Structure 1
């Protein structure tokens, strides 16, 4: 018997349901009524099941229907298979209906602290039974996690050319000069990069997208910065600036990561350095129901984020 014939002859769920129902009721007539089948159709179903397993499962006699020894042996297994099938369908339905599941996100620390909290709070209210994991990492790590399918969605700057990742822009960020509130540069409406570079700089990690953008500005201006110290976290940079140890060039969204006490900022210009921030997803495959719901919710929140950032900037300038 060839393999394709064996596969064709494997029992179906419908056949298992018919077998278990007849065994429990002890009657083809009652089983046909419960299963909403005609008696001939039910008989054909059982005959095909017996052909598939290679022997008789029921003894038919004037006294009624009884299981054969093989049928009695098979009954617990058939019940378990049907229970597993129902459980699997139930689990799948819960996943599609977002009643359970897990979603993994990867985000730049700026977005993890400044944008995601409100989104995640809203998501949790809507889908309380979905577990959420967030990796706040550098841009290249966001790319890797998404392209390797270890994260469902990423939030980062536009990645370098990669066929494994799709990028959808969400909002535009820009760089600002961060200084102690009484610093001379804060008397200006905007600060030139060249003027900021006249002061000791609190720099962030060379591996970060923020630092890489700053290095491009330095090349463009043919300048070097007086690097007072280099830190890994933007929050640490903010505290050092507030302590008067230097000044910093940071993305405007970073103010949601650091305490503004003792700090102020002004837009950096000449050159203006925009940063396109967006959603990263794997280019192959489809998102789960839970991840699709997150993707849609992020889009909802994005439309409200940009005006809020502009209002925040205006209020700081007016102080």
Structure 2
């Protein structure tokens, strides 16, 4: 077994279902089942009891769970200690980024950083907002790009930029004639939106429920390009921010601001509280902020 196998085990414990765990980890249910079966074969016992309400830990499973928690904690403590050693020897930046943020920061920012600081080891991974924060909380990475709100009890948070979330509609849609919209205008409309792993999903769903209705979500996706395609074909509506829509192209679509509250896509850079970030991360943070300042004043074109 390895640490990834343990993460699969913990996901099944949390969700009590293979399908729900597969969505959480972006694996197939068959892949999840295979990992659990391999763990059970290795331990020579059943870890779960299959019931009508889901998968419950067996007595052996409860014992395994206790030791697995300690093993995971020890693993991350070891990783963090080794990272601190590497940071003392030479800089390391291990960036976790929520999807979409590198559209704003730009890949050129990262390439310029690597060119200017070749002595600093640089790694980066992209995934949905909530996955970034789960990984970061578990000890993965040493700096992260995510979206507000972020838990300031856990992280030192630097706000990088903020953009209004707007309604995206085809210009043939009646809502495109409005200069602004209310969340109530979404009621009954076929909505294409990013999945529950993205904070923008929670924002819109929560706003709809506060207004007294459930949004008519046609499809949840891990990439905005599908939402954009559906709106372009006038099959529904979506929500986005200006710079993402600009990158996708929207000649036959309209972006309409909301006028009934704050709808904000706020980008933050995170480090963990009470953790020595090291010289590499400190240099990287300053580099990113300076790069965005140059974009803001127009000396760099995004």
TM-score under structure 2 normalisation? 0.62
Shift of 1:92: 8.4
Shift of 1:304: 4.3
Which of 128, 132, 144 is 2:134 aligned to? 144
Pairing 1:156–2:152 present: no
Say whether the 8 Å CA contact 1:106–1:151 is kept in structure 2: yes
Shift of 1:287: 1.7
Pairing 1:190–2:200 present: no
Shift of 1:279: 0.9
Measure, in 1, the Cα distance between the counterparts of 2:203 and 2:177. Answer: 25
Which of 227, 230, 233 is 1:240 aligned to? 230
Instruction: Give 1:103-118 correspondences, 5 Å limit.
Output: 103-118=93-108
Deviations 1:9-56 (A, max 9, x none): xxxxxxxxxxxxxxxxxxxxxxxxxxxxxxxxxxxxxxxxxxxxxxxx
In the other structure, the counterpart of 1:250 is 240
Instruction: Give 1:1-319 correspondences, 5 Å limit.
Output: 95=90, 101-128=91-118, 130-161=120-151, 163-255=153-245, 258-260=248-250, 262-305=252-295
Measure, in 1, the Cα distance between the counterparts of 2:129 and 2:200. Answer: 9
Shift of 1:233: 1.1
How many residues matched? 215
Measure, in 2, the Cα distance between the counterparts of 1:243 and 1:300. Answer: 39
2:163 alignment partner, SS class: strand
2:208 alignment partner, SS class: helix
Say whether the 8 Å CA contact 1:238–1:259 is kept in structure 2: no
1:244 alignment partner, SS class: coil
In the other structure, the counterpart of 1:17 is none
Shift of 1:192: 2.3
Query: Runs of 5+ in structure 2 lacking a partner?
Result: 1-85
TM-score under structure 1 normalisation? 0.59
1:191 alignment partner, SS class: coil
Measure, in 1, the Cα distance between the counterparts of 2:284 and 2:167. Answer: 33
Measure, in 2, the Cα distance between the counterparts of 1:257 and 1:232. Answer: 17
Query: Runs of 5+ in structure 1 lacking a partner?
Result: 1-90, 96-100, 313-319
Max Rg structure: 1
Distance of aligned partners of 1:285 and 1:256 in 2 relative to their CA distance in 1, 3 Å threshold: farther
Say whether the 8 Å CA contact 1:147–1:165 is kept in structure 2: no
Deviations 1:168-225 (A, max 9, x none): 2222222111112333322232222222334211122122111011122112211222
